[in-house]
Structure 1
């Protein structure tokens, strides 16, 4: 009995420390959404960023491959057909982006049907929406349902704020892009539903040139955490 009480006491202390750490982190790092101006200059700044990263090559690229979540989620995206082969655990989902209900899936090589298929399709959509964003977010600043505006940054430069008012898994998410003088993206700050701390910053400075000339990120850093994009490929 004494051992159980001691374990409960230790558990309580650990939980208390974790809660305190999270609370402290929230007050230290949480930032309010900055004021912005909805002016024509925002679209020009967005176009400058797209030009810097050669968005025309992205439009011409048919296939993209990468992984996410420590390599647990693997992707092969056929942009031309609107299909994505997504693998995780023992599942493989051939996701139809235009008509999700037409998607198919296997579990350990066996075809999945009925309610289980619906659940897998929804999971695949959620994974794809999140994981592909970390690969191609700069190319999505003019997506349907986006609103662009300009924020004056502390260093006097202009930041590009993009809000996704519709679409995706979590509409309403906002990102503030910080750009080099030539428009090349260096990082963004996030105000998103899945992260309780507003304004966390993620780097976009580890770019690699693909075999077809397209520039794509190999990794991102959020504080001390690294998000690795795996073996990124782009080809036709």
Structure 2
């Protein structure tokens, strides 16, 4: 195992690995019977996902004056993944993850979830989603709609996690809470900012904490 991959596994302090089933279906049910998950995925352009051959992005985390970065190229139709760092490159296929690529895959699932969480609401199996309620958002204190996504205790890299999505009436996420292992207390709370359209796929490129010099953000994003 290359040392840099081990380092990447340590830098999962933002804690977002979850059960990923390689399902990227874009089939939306009848418009009149859409679930909240489908409405959120639709607002972010899931119907255009079938047109995506390759997506590239750099995942960055800034804490005070320190910035961590790793870059990815993913072909969702074939599940080929390329991890790129300043010192090395690793290619693997998500259908054939082994001991040489499993730590990189954990990092990829973490980073991809931050980028595509509205789609994972719709894609992922083995989850439960609560009925929507209206609650005060933890950072802005705005009254927003809220649903909770919970993963089962089986499968995935970190099973049992829960996510509280706070979204507006346009079904766009404004804030979320991550709760490791479905704990009562939040493990992380961040904003969702800088929604940017990439060929019909809407991505939130910036996430910030409250009262902390910390930001998770995406750069070098392309869709082909």
Taking structure 1 as the reference length, what is the TM-score of the superposition?
0.66
Partner-residue secondary structure (3-state), 1:176: strand
Which one of 84, 89, 92 corresponds to residue 92 of structure 1?
Answer: 89
Query: 8 Å contact 2:57–2:221 — kept in the other structure?
Result: yes
Aligned mates of 2:191, 2:51 — CA distance in 1: 26
Larger Rg: 1
What do residues 160-186 of structure 1 show as CA deviations (whole Å, max 9, x unaligned)? 111122443211111011111121111
- What's the CA shift for 1:196? 10
Aligned to 2:110: 130
Aligned to 1:147: 128
- What's the CA shift for 1:71? 5.5
* Worse-superposed segment, 213-222 or 175-184: 213-222
Aligned to 2:8: none
Give the aligned CA root-mean-square deviation in angstroms: 2.6
Aligned to 1:80: 77
Moved over 4 A (4+): none
Aligned to 2:16: none
Aligned to 1:24: none
Aligned to 2:170: 182
Higher helix proportion (structure 1 or 2)? 1
Query: 8 Å contact 2:45–2:200 — kept in the other structure?
Result: no
Gaps of at least 5 residues in structure 1 are 1-42, 102-117
Query: 8 Å contact 2:191–2:207 — kept in the other structure?
Result: yes
Is 1:64 matched up with 2:55? yes
What do residues 37-81 of structure 1 show as CA deviations (whole Å, max 9, x unaligned)? xxxxxx721122122112111233121111124463110001111
Counting matched residue pairs gives 176
- What's the CA shift for 1:150? 2.4
Query: 8 Å contact 2:147–2:166 — kept in the other structure?
Result: yes
- What's the CA shift for 1:88? 2.8
Aligned to 2:15: none
Query: 8 Å contact 1:95–1:124 — kept in the other structure?
Result: no
What do residues 126-168 of structure 1 show as CA deviations (whole Å, max 9, x unaligned)? 1101111111111001312121112534346541111122443
- What's the CA shift for 1:187? 1.6
Gaps of at least 5 residues in structure 2 are 1-33, 61-66, 137-142
Is 1:233 matched up with 2:207? no
